């Protein structure tokens, strides 16, 4: 069956001497691999199937007897190359981290439209430089898990439902917040204290509409705190270390 999909290229891999395959996030099929016959030599599809390109992809979808589905590229057309990201080593590093996070949490399923929208928006703001890279990283690190079903309960204290407090505790093991009175812990290793500003910011990233998500700023001091929060959130929920994150941190 022939299909036309729009997707962002997350990874390129050479297969043998002349062929290649790409991992792509699409709204319709989630994250899929597309085989490109002669892809290493072909000039025709090279710009539209390289890393970070957002393209229209016309593919042949073949359902195997095993239940597995394979995709073969027929033709492609570049929609956006995110040119400025490619020119900047720090932006390239961050975009690679976005791609690695999506690949790690990959699922082939419908309803991936919001994840695609999140990453396209993030790439767009990284490309035009209208949001600072370190803040953009926090937004993506926290909103991606929210979009794939790991949105923590941020309405109020999980115990007494208090909406806000000078000190709220985010419990990383339970993905819940507790007010200072209700929070009980043997040690301080699995929680982080959120003051009102930080709690507001965390709620904003988790819940605001895409139209507003990239339009805010933070002081240097709060950016550091937010970074500690979102990196811990990724570490607790994904339980994996990401080479692209280590690289991003090594070059700033
Ligand atoms: Zn409470």
Taking the domains of the chain in order of start, what are their residue ranges? 1-81, 84-252
Domain 1-81 shares a fold with domain 84-252: no
Distance 179 CA to ligand 1 centre (A): 4
Q: What is the average pLDDT across 103-131?
A: 89
**What pLDDT does residue 186 have?**
67
Strand partners, 60: 2, 72
pTM of the model: 0.94
Q: How far is the CA of 198 from the centre of ligand 1 (A)?
A: 18
pLDDT confidence of residue 115: 94
DSSP code string of 164-205: --SSEEEETTTTEEEETTT---SSSSSEEEE-HHHHHHHHHH
Taking the C-alpha atoms of residue 132 and residue 113, their distance in angstroms, rounded to an integer, is: 25
Q: How far is the CA of 212 from the centre of ligand 1 (A)?
A: 30
CATH topology (fold) of 1-81? OB fold (Dihydrolipoamide Acetyltransferase, E2P) (2.40.50)
State in Å: Cα 152 to ligand 1 middle: 16
Q: How far is the CA of 213 from the centre of ligand 1 (A)?
A: 28
Let me know if 157 is exposed, middle or buried by CB neighbors in 10 A (0-12, 13-18, 19+): buried
Tokens representing 247 are: 């690289």
Per-residue confidence at 127, pLDDT binned at 50, 70, 90? very high
| Average pLDDT of the segment spanning 192-206 | 96
Q: What pLDDT digit, counting tens, does each position of 15-40 carry?
A: 999 999 999 999 989 999 999 999 99
Confidence of residue 227 (pLDDT cuts 50, 70, 90): very high
CA of 144 to the centre of ligand 1 (A): 28
CA 162 – ligand 1 centroid, Å: 6
- Cβ(145)–Cβ(139) below 8 Å: no
- Distance, in Å, from the CA atom of 195 to the CA atom of 183, rounded to the nearest integer, reads 14
Distance 182 CA to ligand 1 centre (A): 4
Question: Who surrounds ion ligand 1 at CB < 5 A?
Answer: 157, 159-160, 162, 179, 182
Its CATH class, for the domain covering 84-252, is mainly alpha
Radius of gyration of the chain (CA): 20
Helix, strand, coil % over all residues of the chain, rounded to 5: 40, 25, 35
Gap from CA of 181 to ligand 1 centroid (Å): 6
């Amino acid at each position: 069956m022939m299909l036309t999909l729009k997707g962002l290229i997350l990874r390129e891999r050479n297969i043998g001497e002349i062929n290649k395959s790409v991992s792509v996030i699409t709204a319709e099929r989630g994250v899929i691999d597309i085989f490109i016959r002669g892809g290493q030599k072909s000039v025709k599809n090279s710009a539209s199937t390289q890393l970070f390109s957002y393209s229209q992809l016309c593919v042949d979808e073949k359902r195997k007897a095993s239940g597995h589905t394979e995709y073969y590229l027929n033709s492609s057309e570049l929609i956006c190359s995110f040119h400025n990201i490619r020119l900047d080593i720090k932006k390239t590093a961050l975009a690679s981290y976005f791609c690695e996070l999506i690949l790690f949490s990959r699922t082939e399923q419908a309803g991936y439209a919001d994840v695609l929208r999140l990453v396209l928006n993030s790439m767009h703001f990284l490309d035009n430089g209208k949001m600072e890279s370190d803040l953009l990283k926090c937004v993506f690190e926290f909103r991606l898990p929210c979009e794939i079903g790991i949105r923590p309960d941020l309405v109020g204290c999980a115990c007494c439902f208090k909406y806000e407090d000078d000190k709220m505790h985010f419990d990383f093991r339970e993905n819940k917040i507790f007010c200072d009175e209700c929070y009980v812990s043997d040690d301080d290793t699995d929680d982080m204290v959120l003051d009102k500003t930080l709690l507001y910011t965390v709620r904003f990233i988790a819940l605001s509409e895409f139209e507003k998500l990239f339009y805010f700023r933070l002081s240097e001091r709060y950016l550091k705190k937010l970074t500690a929060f979102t990196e811990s959130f990724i570490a607790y929920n994904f339980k994996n270390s990401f080479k692209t994150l280590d690289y991003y941190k090594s070059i700033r």
